[in-house]
Amino acid sequence: MILDILKYPDKRLRTIAQPVVSVNSDIKKQVKDMFETMYDAPGIGLAATQVNFHQRIIVIDISEDCNQPFCLINPEIIEKSGEIEWEEGCLSVPNYYENVKRANKIKVCALNEHGNTFDIEANEMLAICIQHEMDHLNGILFVDHLSKLKQKRLQKKAEKQDKKL
């Protein structure tokens, strides 16, 4: 099922997601729906917060052919190093792209969609994507990493878009 993606400046995007207590059939369905929504959008990552489901779930697929999906439930960054600046966009902030600095290399511990614990080491685009989606789980948007001036411009642009709808 394709879910509705919340759009900036929707206040629900600021909700801090709660840990998943049990990877049960409801969580597995949510993961499946999130993948369908991400591919339909189209995007390379989606956090549960973006679809107004406030539990710590991320789905990602950065492959060209959209054939390497993976899910992180209750992800935690346990190591990070280096710095990289990359142009980011967001399904919740459509048609807006800006450079953001993040850690270049990270190690993450999470559960998969079957409830099994795993670690993943990621760098460059995958590391950026994971950090971007984890920010969503903490009520943070990529635009929060921008200068106050750029944030104000985007806020005004988003408010104008809201009035048109």
For residue 123, the one-letter residue type is: N
Residues 12-29: pLDDT tens digits?
999 999 999 999 999 999
- Asked if residue 157 has pLDDT above 90, the reply is no
pLDDT of residue 150: 85
Residues 55-101: pLDDT tens digits?
999 999 999 999 999 999 999 999 999 999 999 999 999 989 999 99
d(Cα 52, Cα 17) in Å, to the nearest integer? 10
**Other beta carbons within 10 Å of 134:** 22
pLDDT of residue 158: 77
**Other beta carbons within 10 Å of 47:** 30
User: Position of tokens 């600021």?
Assistant: 14
Confidence of residue 155 (pLDDT cuts 50, 70, 90): confident
Catalytic residue among 76, 85, 133, 159: 133
Instruction: Determine what percent of the chain is predicted with pLDDT higher than 70.
Output: 98
Chain Cα centroid distance, residue 95? 16
**Residues contacting 28, CB < 8 A, separation 6+:** 113
Chain Cα centroid distance, residue 54? 12
pLDDT of residue 116: 97
As a whole number of angstroms, the longest Cα–Cα distance in the chain is: 46
Confidence of residue 165 (pLDDT cuts 50, 70, 90): low
The class level of CATH for 11-164 reads: alpha beta
Residue ranges covered by each domain of the chain:
11-164
Q: In the annotation, is 133 catalytic? A: yes
Q: Which of 51-55, 78-82, 109-113, 145-149 has the lowest mean pLDDT?
A: 145-149
Instruction: Work out the average pLDDT over 39-60.
Output: 98
Confidence of residue 47 (pLDDT cuts 50, 70, 90): very high
Confidence of residue 10 (pLDDT cuts 50, 70, 90): very high
- Asked if residue 162 has pLDDT above 90, the reply is no
